[in-house]
Structure 1
């Protein structure tokens, strides 16, 4: 028998079916690619106990809240947070900020101070699991403040789990404590066996021993990192967001220093980080 010859109408119909099938497959592939990426908006902010430098006797929690809300942050690392101190008044500042933003929080005390407590905090849109405070060492000869790192396990949309951490390293010039503290941080996160986003006030600049040690294990969210202090006409970058992933599935989509000059003596840092599933 001779093969049946399709008339033009049948040929057009078959081509339409083939086109629709191919287009559907392409759309599904595109959707799979889109759904395999999670975007995480992260802020690191030394809030100076919510004291605007231009208003020495004022506490302005709402100013800190506005900064975070304007960026619609998913994860926030706070430093210099007061809880029940005489200078800041009653209440835990991390709790107050989180309540206004409808976020989860964990406060991590570094030391007793001024009738209350002082330390770091993490805020998250998503529940914080296994939150912990990790004391960081000082040099035995150093007369300086105690420091800690706050960590929490975060389950992101899609089921990915990461560790989010906030820290504030020693402030003194040429500080041997700062190096001890960062070495301890690297030891802690190495044992966690999860992707880590670490943010905070590292009190040192790119090219220093401190930041070189940090970047030996982490990748910063910035290249040629813009300065964060002083808040007016900033000249030094000391506040950073960094990340590490066992399969190198983190990448930076955007990084900026937010041009906010009222709420704190530091400018906040924002990063949009992509996580490939």
Structure 2
């Protein structure tokens, strides 16, 4: 099986033009249609069985009211599971554009069970759980704040330990303090990083930080791992080929 993890940055792109006319903000207002087409073509070329997509526009004016998760699902033949990533009752649930920002899982298994959990702390709180026949996956986008991130990882440990199936946890962990944060979380949850060479995934133009992770438990056997050098977002995508030991 193949898992693709990709932070899309809402299809808004990257580079100097992203910061025009307002540094750090202006790019998030740009129309995303052309770049989304490139992203779709790339995802199609990787032939994933499962795709974990971070920072997906679910139909704001920026995306011409198109739900990017649905667009990618239709193009790949995968089944989508997506949701707004902010806390229930948060002001972000009501702001234009922002209220359409979420994360998504796509899968070939049509009867996979979808569950949506929420962290207690942080602005970005969504956890998407995808329970397949012999595997359970979690998709996250953790907080930029260290204290909140640690609380979120503690919550994740509980979810992972509660699963009776092999587990994969994937997402943008925002580990700005270094990969040691992941080492502690992985040890507590009984997980291993697919990125054994600690390759960086951000920024895509000159990667020097490892922010995106795919972690797997006992019962999952890694076959291959790659970080393709494509620059449709500020993050590079991760590709993880694996098999389940129970099905081997």
Whether these two folds match at TM > 0.5 is yes
Match of 2:21 in 1: none
Shift of 1:194: 1.3
- Residues 73 and 79 in structure 2, CA contact (< 8 A), matched pair in contact too: yes
- Residues 252 and 272 in structure 1, CA contact (< 8 A), matched pair in contact too: yes
Q: How does 1:99-178 map to 2 (within 5 A)?
A: 99-111=74-86, 112=93, 113-115=95-97, 116-138=99-121, 145-155=123-133, 161-172=134-145, 175-178=146-149
Q: How does 1:246-265 map to 2 (within 5 A)?
A: 248-261=218-231, 263-265=232-234
TM-score computed with the length of structure 1 as normaliser: 0.75
In structure 2, C-alpha distance between the alignment counterparts of 1:98 and 1:74, rounded to whole Å: 11
Higher share in strand: 1
SS of structure 1 residue aligned to 2:148:
helix
**In the alignment, is residue 51 of structure 1 matched against residue 12 of structure 2?**
yes
- Residues 200 and 211 in structure 2, CA contact (< 8 A), matched pair in contact too: yes
Match of 1:182 in 2: 153
In structure 2, C-alpha distance between the alignment counterparts of 1:124 and 1:88, rounded to whole Å: 23
SS of structure 1 residue aligned to 2:44:
helix
Shift of 1:70: 1.5
Shift of 1:163: 1.1
Shift of 1:178: 0.4
Gaps in structure 2 of 5+ consecutive residues: 18-26, 87-92
Out of 222-231 and 79-88, give the one that drifted further: 79-88
TM-score computed with the length of structure 2 as normaliser: 0.83
Match of 2:90 in 1: none
Q: How does 1:212-231 map to 2 (within 5 A)?
A: 212-217=184-189, 218-231=191-204
SS of structure 2 residue aligned to 1:216:
helix
In structure 2, C-alpha distance between the alignment counterparts of 1:128 and 1:241, rounded to whole Å: 23
Out of 91-100 and 54-63, give the one that drifted further: 54-63
In structure 2, C-alpha distance between the alignment counterparts of 1:220 and 1:108, rounded to whole Å: 26
In structure 2, C-alpha distance between the alignment counterparts of 1:69 and 1:107, rounded to whole Å: 19
SS of structure 1 residue aligned to 2:154:
helix
In structure 2, C-alpha distance between the alignment counterparts of 1:128 and 1:167, rounded to whole Å: 21
Q: How does 1:228-247 map to 2 (within 5 A)?
A: 228-244=201-217
Shift of 1:152: 1.4
Match of 2:73 in 1: 98
Match of 1:15 in 2: none
Larger radius of gyration: 1
**In the alignment, is residue 81 of structure 1 matched against residue 63 of structure 2?**
no
Shift of 1:148: 1.2
In structure 2, C-alpha distance between the alignment counterparts of 1:211 and 1:238, rounded to whole Å: 13
In structure 2, C-alpha distance between the alignment counterparts of 1:210 and 1:128, rounded to whole Å: 31
In structure 2, C-alpha distance between the alignment counterparts of 1:146 and 1:69, rounded to whole Å: 28
Shift of 1:96: 1.2
Shift of 1:110: 1.1
Shift of 1:162: 0.9
Shift of 1:61: 2.0
- Residues 182 and 214 in structure 1, CA contact (< 8 A), matched pair in contact too: no
